[in-house]
Amino acid sequence: MDSFSIFNSPFSIVRHRLVGKGVVQLECPKNRRGVAGPDMIILHYTAGRDAMSSANFLIRADVKASAHLIIGRDGQVIQLVPFNIEAWHAGKSCYEGRSELNHYSIGIELDNLGQLRSEGGRFVAECGKEVPIRDVYMKDSDKEVTYWHRYTDVQERVLEEVCDLLTEYYPIRDIVGHSDVSSRKVEPGPALQLCDWMKYY
C-alpha cells in the first residue's frame, strides 16, 4: 500500500513517510538498512536547543545516531528516515527478550531539554540553556527531587496523533521510552504526561 490515512487524522503515510500540514522531510542517506516490521515505537528527548538544530545534527554523516521523527515544541514534525528504514536511536538495547531494537522499531525524538539542574533558583539544561520556572516539571520521589523540562500540550497531542496513525498502519505492539530498553537512559522522563493508549510506565 503506497498511502494510508485514518479518519480525522491530520496526517497520512505515503511510501513510509509522514505527510500532513507542516511536516518537513529531510534526507538522512547514512541510513539504508530495512527495518523488520516495525513493531514498536521508542520515545526519546533530544536534549538539543531546538527541533531543527537537533534534526540537522542527526542527519550529519559523521554522527552515529539518527531517528525517524522529531516533534517540535510547536507541534511541527520533521522526518529524517522513512519508517521502513532502520534509524540509529536505540543503541545497545533490549526489551522482552529481544536486543538490538533499532532493527524492529520507530524512533521518535521530542524536542525537550530533558533533566535539569537547579542552580540558585535557576533551572539549567545540560546544553547550558536556562528554562523558565513555568516550563519546569518537578518529580518528587522517595529518594530525591528532580527537575525536568515540560513537554507542551501541542507536542503531546501531535505525538498521540502520530502514534495512532503508526499503530494502525504497522504491527506496533509496544510504545516505550528509551529508559525502558536501556538502563543507561532516562528518556523521555517523567514530564511526559502519557495517555492511556500508551503501553508505557
pLDDT digits (tens, 9 = 90+) for 67-88: 999 999 999 999 999 999 999 9
Query: Which domain, by its residues, includes 134?
Result: 113-150
| Domain-located, residue 188 | no
| Domain-located, residue 80 | yes
| Domain-located, residue 174 | yes
pLDDT at 197: 47
121 shares a domain with 67: no
Q: Which DSSP symbol is given to 85?
A: B
Q: Three-class SS of residue 42?
A: strand
Number of domains making up the chain: 2
C-alpha to C-alpha distances, 137 to 17, 95, 147, 167, nearest whole angstrom: 33, 28, 6, 29
pLDDT digits (tens, 9 = 90+) for 139-198: 998 789 999 999 999 999 999 999 999 999 999 999 999 999 999 999 999 999 765 445
| Domain-located, residue 193 | no
